[in-house]
Amino acid sequence: MSESRIELFRKMIEAEPNNTTVRFGLANELLKLERFEEAAVELKAYLGLADDQGNAYGKLAQALERMGRVDEAREAYQQGISAATRHGHPGMAQEFEMALADMI
């Protein structure tokens, strides 16, 4: 089922490359399948197009951490903290701060 969803998302992106909702959806499907490299690519593309409120940065950080790219994961968490704070989501910012503390 997930593979067919991924193909559907890819076709939708092919037709409309700047559709942030579809990119985020594809990234989530890839994360479910633990295809972290592909998910990170899609999350970075999404973040290049959207003013994310923090959630995508957290997902990117988790994917990067799972791939052993700890420095990049830390940076993603930092960006997520900034975005969450900017958008009035202190709970999310605190969650990312705790994740950073656990990485040290």
pLDDT digits (tens, 9 = 90+) for 14-45: 999 999 999 999 999 999 999 999 999 999 99
In this prediction the pTM is 0.93
Dist. CA 31–CA 34, nearest whole Å: 5
Domains of the chain by start residue, with CATH: 2-103 (1.25.40.10)
Say whether 84 sits in a helix, a strand or coil.
helix
Dist. CA 8–CA 5, nearest whole Å: 5
Q: What is the pLDDT of residue 3?
A: 84
pLDDT digits (tens, 9 = 90+) for 48-66: 999 999 999 999 999 999 9
